[in-house]
């Protein structure tokens, strides 16, 4: 039998019971972004690494407010959330060069939510032939990068400025300057 070691999970496995309260509310109140795995703080949402990731770079976009569904969010907050999704996608592509990215949200325990009551959107980088089959076949996940390394890799990319920014409630794409189009040729006949 082969063994795969993931020492960062020991605290979770050995804990008699999880700490009281919401993990996301604790993270956003924390002053130590590295310890709480917070990568970026926006006005209404923040980006955080998943403490028990499915793959390298697995992160989440989470509202600062304790809300159970996006339907409870203000339109401006939803715009910021999607702006952060784009920013996170760009950071993941630059840092890890994935061949795909799963985006997903599980609302409620029966939908698969591990943390209920505080909605969040997952971004999970994927590669052809990645090891996610291990979860199904061997109840094991293979994560070759430590969370601290992922935090150091992604934080500067998420805070460097996005190609798409949420500003004043509107999503404004940064576009390259327009080139002048040549005048149409006239045919004389």
Active site residues: 120
HEC string for the chain: CCCCCCHHHHHHHHCCCCCCCCHHHHHHHCCCHHHHCEEEECCCEEEEECCCCCCCCCEEEEECCCCCCHHHCCHHHHHHHHHHHHHHHHHHHHHHCCCEEEEECCCCHHHCCCCCCCCCEEEEEECCCCCCHHHHHHCCCCCCCCHHHHHHHHHHHHCCCCCEEEECCEEEECCCCCCCCCCCCCCCC
Residue with tokens 């702006």: 83
């Amino acid at each position: 039998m082969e063994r795969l070691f993931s020492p960062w999970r020991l605290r979770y496995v050995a804990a008699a019971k999880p700490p009281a309260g919401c993990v996301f509310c604790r993270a956003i109140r924390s002053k130590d972004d590295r310890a709480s795995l917070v990568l970026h703080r926006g006005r209404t949402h923040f980006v955080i690494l998943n403490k028990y990731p499915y793959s390298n770079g697995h992160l989440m976009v989470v509202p600062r407010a304790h809300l159970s569904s996006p339907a409870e969010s203000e339109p401006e907050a939803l715009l910021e959330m999607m702006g952060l999704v784009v920013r996170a996608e760009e950071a993941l592509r630059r840092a890890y060069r994935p061949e795909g990215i799963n985006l997903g949200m599980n609302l409620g325990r029966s939908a698969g939510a591990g943390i209920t009551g505080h909605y969040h959107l997952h971004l999970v980088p994927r590669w052809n032939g990645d090891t996610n089959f291990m979860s199904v076949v061997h109840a094991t996940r293979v994560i070759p990068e430590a969370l601290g390394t992922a935090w150091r890799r992604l934080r500067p990319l998420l805070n460097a400025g996005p190609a798409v920014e949420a500003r004043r409630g509107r999503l404004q794409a940064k576009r390259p300057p327009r080139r002048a189009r040549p005048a149409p040729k006239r045919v004389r006949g």
